[in-house]
Every structure is written in structure tokens, then in C-alpha cells.
Amino acid sequence: MNVPNSESFVHAYTRACESRQTSFQSHLLSPALQTLKHLLVDSDRIKREEDWDPLIKGIKANRDLQRISIISDIGQTDPEVKVESKASTSKLIQSGSRSVNHQSPARVRALRLPAVALLSRISCFLASALRDCLQGSYALTVLELSGINLSEKEMKMISVGLFGSKSLRELSLARSHIGDEGLRVISRGIKLARGIHCGRITQEPSCTTPSSTVGDNTS
């Protein structure tokens, strides 16, 4: 679906849902979105890949959001459980109707994960949309990705967006698995960004660099 280069998130999101004939995620259209232009995404509630597509299109096209928060309390606990195949995810979800007593421990863990934690391509499309939003928006001041697993490639896309951002002031990647290389990439991006004065990156213990906070970056 082709979306305009510049429109509100709500308009872009509803158009994408109608085009794909998928249901609105009602928790996304919160009072905070309407009054504060704050998009709060509980990614653990979005289980299906097809429900991510309109959201990603809305983020990519919007130019009115002032804050984007995408959070997960589940995905951040299993950084290794990602698959590339939609069919593999469908089989996992379909098998969820059986008693967990008949599932392997790995399958039970996977069934509890949101789609963004299972499918690498969703996080890739999300990173691409955030890059375009960062580069095109004059309104976005805060970006929070909490508990989201992101690869080095995805961190590079977000870093490009940071460099091109005209308005971002704060970035948080708290509890997100980004790896050592991802940490180096995003740290460089924050330092090169024009306006960020607060960058917060908190890694899980599995990473050799436990935490990093990038402070004032204003010139």
C-alpha cells in the first residue's frame, strides 16, 4: 500500500488497516495519542504479523507524533528465539491450542513471545520505519525502545535516522538486546546526532558492556 509522504499517524494507521482489512489495535488509539501525540505500543499484545504491518506503515508515514514508546516485558527475556519463516510462527501459534503439558519447553517459551520477538523481518521493517520517521519528522522529540531485540543491521538503520533527525532530544534503549556491535553503532549515532542531549542504553548481563549512558550532546 502506498501512503502519503506526510500525514498523521492515526490517518496513516487507519488507512493501512482498511487496506489490509485487519482490525484496529484499540490500545494504540489511546487518549495520550490524541492529546499528547504520544504513541505507546505494548508489543507483547500484538501477536500476529499482519497486525504489525499497519502500525509500521503508520510510524513510517507520520509527521505529527512527538513521542514514540515501543515496549516489551517478554521479548527482552529471550534474545535467541527469532525465526525467519512466517509459516514457522503460524505453526507455533496454532499449536498453542493444545495443552502446554504436551509442548516442549522451547515451544512453550516461543508461544508466549510477541511476533516482533519471533520474526526478524518485523523488527527490520520497524527499524526502517523508525529511520524514515526520524529523518522526516520535525515533531518527534523522544524515542523509547524498551525490551526490544535489535540486530546490528537494525541499529545501523536507526543510527542513520538519528543522524538525519531534526527534532529528537531523547533516546532510550533500556533493557533492549542490541549486542556489543549494536551498542557501538548506536553510540556513534548518538554522538553524531545534532540535537540529542540524553541517550540511555541499558544492556542485559549477557553483553560484555553492561550499560552505557550518553549524556549531553548539544553543540
DSSP classification of residue 112 = T
Task: Write out pLDDT tens, residues 176-205.
Answer: 888 889 999 998 888 888 778 665 665 544
Residue 117 CA, distance from chain mean position: 10
Task: Write out pLDDT tens, residues 99-156.
Answer: 444 555 555 455 556 666 667 889 999 999 999 999 999 999 999 999 888 899 999 9
Residue of 158, 166, 176 lying closest to 141 (CA atoms):
166
For 93: left if phi > 0, alpha if psi spans -120 to 50, otherwise beta; the answer is alpha
173 and 160 in contact (C-beta within 8 Å)?
no
Q: How much is the mean pLDDT over the chain? A: 77
30 and 79 in contact (C-beta within 8 Å)?
no
Q: Which three cell numbers stand for residue 211?
A: 550499560
Residue of 59, 190, 81 lying closest to 131 (CA atoms):
59
- Three-state SS string over 198-209 comes to EEEEECCCCCCC
